[in-house]
Amino acid sequence: MKIFQIVNVRWFNATAWYALTLSRLLADAGHQVTVLTQGGTKPDEVARDMGLTTVPVDLNTNNPLRFADATRHITRLLKEYRPDIVNCHRGEGFFLWGALKLLGFQFKLVRTRGDQRPPRSDFLNRFIHASVADAVVVTNRRMADFFLQTMRTPAQGLWLIHGGVDTARFAFDPTGRDRVRTEFGFEPHHTVVGLVGRFDRVKGHKETIEAVSRLRDAGHADVRLFLIGFDTAMTSGQIQATIDAHGLGDIARISGKRQDIAACISALDIGVVASLWSEAIARAGLEIMAVERPLVSTNVGVMPDLTAPPMLVEPGDPTGLADTLSSLIRNASLRTEVLEAQKRTMSQLTLDEFLKRSLNLYSSLIDNH
């Protein structure tokens, strides 16, 4: 198949990761994949580093002249490549692709919604999703319900395709576990609770720090905190200030930027996703589960699709988070149950499954042409 993946994303966020991972899988499977990117962005750089064929097109511009130029550029690309599938991973430019399809260009149009913010539900947006797009892909059940109930997207045109994780790269690493724990001063008897994610308010570092503080106050003297991440919207200094304010300077560590993420996750005894909102794709959650660490999560975005129900807590609730962590620390049989549930979930969330489900969608659209 000839496939255009439209990845006009400014930042290398979960949407970009989902789109580029899928693009690489499709290309490795022998399909002709062209990735349309926003030039000069991190996703554009990452796509090229992955060996993907990229074409920068400014679909995010508000300048009428630049948008007209982008439209001419896309029209030339459609005539040259004649793609079977066009998959838009962002809303900017989606109306343009819909208009080109209505004007007679023969491609199947897919809109992948890897963002937790609901789309506008006005008549025009409902029309283009339900009657112009050939399929809408969502990455979690909550967004699927929104499209069915509010956007009135026909059920046969809605596909739920979770992201996948590289289970060869993200697997429990006992040697890496020992090395990382030694590096950061974690002893074998310590219970290391860890959060994996960029330093951003949305990720719930503050609530996780407060929860671990509550654990220690409740008598969990061996608990330790490992924050695996680096400066982005917030700095390490800001994170450290919150740690110090809760009196955890002696038991909390910040990883900084690392290449050995699987080893760092292996160093944990419990993984946490404490996000306050978003998590439409939950890359960190998938990686924690793939490394066979029990996961405690807030019930935002895709997390109820992935997490064992007893391990779900309300966002912004450090007390609930502390209580759930405490039950997991104290109850070995509960840890076993959680890991078994995660193993069943992860069997459906490999990269092979991600590719297979996406190809099932694309093939169904072409076969029904």
**Each residue's pLDDT tens digit, 200-245:** 999 999 999 999 999 999 999 999 999 999 999 999 999 999 999 9
DSSP string, 331-351: -HHHHHHHHHHHHHHHTT-BH
Give the confidence band of 4 by pLDDT, cuts at 50, 70, 90: very high
Give the confidence band of 115 by pLDDT, cuts at 50, 70, 90: confident
Decide if pLDDT at 369 tops 70: no
Nearest to 366 by CA among 108, 159, 34, 130: 108
* % of residues, the chain, pLDDT over 90: 92
pLDDT of amino acid 343: 96
Decide if pLDDT at 188 tops 80: yes
Superfamily name with CATH number, domain 174-346: Glycogen Phosphorylase B; (3.40.50.2000)
Give the confidence band of 268 by pLDDT, cuts at 50, 70, 90: very high
Nearest to 132 by CA among 124, 120, 140: 124
Query: Count of CB atoms within 10 A of residue 287's CB?
Result: 22
Residues carrying CATH 3.40.50.2000, the chain: 2-164+350-367, 174-346
Decide if pLDDT at 312 tops 70: yes
Give the confidence band of 184 by pLDDT, cuts at 50, 70, 90: very high
**Each residue's pLDDT tens digit, 31-87:** 999 999 999 999 999 999 999 999 999 999 989 999 999 999 999 999 999 999 999
Number of helices followed by number of strands (H, E) in the chain: 15, 13
Give me 266's structure tokens.
Answer: 């292996």
**Each residue's pLDDT tens digit, 118-140:** 888 899 999 999 999 999 999 99
Query: Count of CB atoms within 10 A of residue 304's CB?
Result: 15
DSSP 8-state symbol, 310: G
Which of left, alpha, beta for 179 (phi over 0: left; psi -120 to 50: alpha)?
Answer: alpha
**Each residue's pLDDT tens digit, 68-84:** 999 999 999 999 999 99
Look up the CATH architecture of domain 2-164+350-367: 3-Layer(aba) Sandwich (3.40)
Nearest to 140 by CA among 167, 166, 163: 163
Nearest to 328 by CA among 255, 243, 223: 223
pLDDT of amino acid 177: 98
